[in-house]
């Protein structure tokens, strides 16, 4: 039996054959003209105005409230940078210290399997913290300070629990980076390692309207609370197309092994159509300024000289071969490459790299939430429907 398709509002008795009915639908209900521009992934669409950060990809610049990232890494601390992002003011007395986590958060983390992703654990901890805090909608700087101080302690607790160790109470006299290392290891942090991690937090704090920041602003725009916005941002950052892969850079350098093997490995990898991690960026068409800042930090770290020397040698080979084999594309070193050097140098396990990036990004996420709420408008883009029209279900 042939199914009969009827114009909307008609009955089966009046419809005739399926072909005739379909033609009548097309005549009676022509698709509405929609000349609005469509940009897949919203690429190139200006969806917000912000005074927080400028990503100047063409010229390889990154500014926080007008200050270049190199100066901020060289002369600032993460606490000072976070305060700058939240308030627009440069305060030399700004401080952020790790805060204790509640018994409820620890209980939730204990329930997770040890094989759980640290990103999942961080998202879970922030969700529990948000439920306990019962935050009102309008996000504030105090709320931003609180969640930014909480999350390193939560991630460190899970980092220990997954190894069968008990969480360590934070030393609240330390800054966030040092406190995170202290809670992970149970020992006083090495001063140079803490400073290097603090520099990593600075370069990771803010990067325009990227996917996770956009997610945080969308959630804030619905008048949901700050913890919900950060949970959503963590979920977006977890995706491999956004969160970066400094851990994959580490694996890549281990595969290469020596400077002598670098060129053959690079050519074979490109020949297979595979990506070389740590190179190329959707926005930057020049050397990533965050990579330049972290390279200087890595060069000043004790204990990473051999590994860093290999990284520098491999970088030179990759850039030369990419320029030869892909002359039409601008593929420069990005932040992930030297983030790997810093994070490995301070002793973090590679599986903690993405979640540590999320800790750094807390300052920027929450700054954008505050800015979004100040002149809030629900973020609700439209879509163009391209599916079937005016169908009736088959007769019973």
Q: What is d(CA 372, CA 76) in angstroms, rounded to the nearest whole number?
A: 26
* 281 annotated active-site: yes
Alpha helices for the chain (secondary structure H): 18-28, 69-75, 78-87, 103-111, 118-133, 141-161, 176-185, 191-204, 211-221, 226-238, 246-256, 259-271, 289-299, 305-325, 335-345, 353-374
Q: Strand, helix or coil at 314?
A: helix
DSSP characters over 23-75: HHHHHHSPPPP------GGGTT------SSEEEETTTTEEEETTEEHHHHHHH
336 has catalytic annotation: yes
Considering the candidates 207, 281, 362, 368, report the single residue annotated as catalytic.
Answer: 281
Contact 226, 135 (CB under 8 A): yes
d(CA 188, CA 205): 25
Tokens of 396: 């019973």
Q: Which residue among 83, 206, 336, 371 is the active-site one? A: 336
Q: Which residues form the catalytic set?
A: 281, 336
């Amino acid at each position: 039996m042939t199914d009969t398709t009827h114009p909307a509002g008609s009955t089966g008795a009046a419809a005739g054959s399926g072909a005739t009915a379909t033609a009548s639908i097309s005549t009676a209900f022509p698709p509405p003209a929609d000349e609005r521009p469509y940009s897949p992934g919203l690429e190139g669409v200006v969806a917000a105005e912000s005074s927080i950060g400028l990503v100047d990809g063409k010229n390889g610049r990154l500014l926080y409230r007008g200050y270049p990232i190199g100066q901020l890494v060289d002369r600032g601390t993460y606490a000072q940078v976070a305060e700058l992002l939240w308030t627009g003011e440069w305060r030399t007395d700004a401080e952020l210290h790790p805060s204790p986590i509640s018994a409820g958060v620890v209980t939730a983390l204990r329930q997770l399997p040890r094989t759980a992703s640290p990103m999942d654990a961080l998202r879970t901890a922030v969700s529990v913290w948000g439920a306990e805090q019962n935050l009102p909608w309008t996000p504030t700087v105090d709320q931003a300070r609180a969640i930014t101080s909480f999350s390193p302690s939560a991630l460190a607790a899970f980092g220990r629990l997954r190894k069968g160790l008990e969480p360590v109470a934070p030393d609240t006299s330390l800054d966030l980076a040092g406190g995170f290392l202290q809670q992970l290891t149970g020992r006083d942090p090495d001063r140079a390692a803490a400073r290097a991690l603090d520099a990593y937090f600075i370069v990771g704090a803010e990067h325009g309207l990227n996917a996770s920041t956009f997610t945080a602003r969308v959630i804030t725009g619905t008048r949901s609370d700050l913890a919900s916005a950060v949970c959503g941002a963590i979920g977006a950052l977890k995706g491999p197309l956004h969160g970066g892969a400094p851990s994959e850079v580490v694996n890549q350098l281990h595969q290469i092994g020596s400077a002598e093997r670098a060129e053959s490995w690079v050519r074979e990898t490109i020949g297979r159509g595979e990506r070389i991690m740590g190179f190329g960026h959707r926005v930057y068409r020049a050397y990533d300024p965050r990579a330049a800042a972290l390279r200087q930090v890595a060069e000043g770290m004790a204990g990473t000289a051999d590994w860093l020397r290999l990284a520098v040698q491999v970088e030179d080979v990759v850039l030369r071969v990419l320029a030869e084999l892909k002359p039409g594309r601008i593929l420069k070193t990005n932040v992930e490459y030297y983030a790997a050097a810093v994070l490995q140098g301070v002793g973090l396990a590679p599986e903690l790299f993405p979640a540590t990036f999320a800790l750094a990004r807390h300052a920027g996420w929450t700054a954008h939430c505050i800015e979004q709420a100040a002149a809030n408008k629900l973020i609700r883009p439209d879509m163009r429907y391209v599916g079937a029209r005016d169908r009736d279900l088959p007769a019973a």
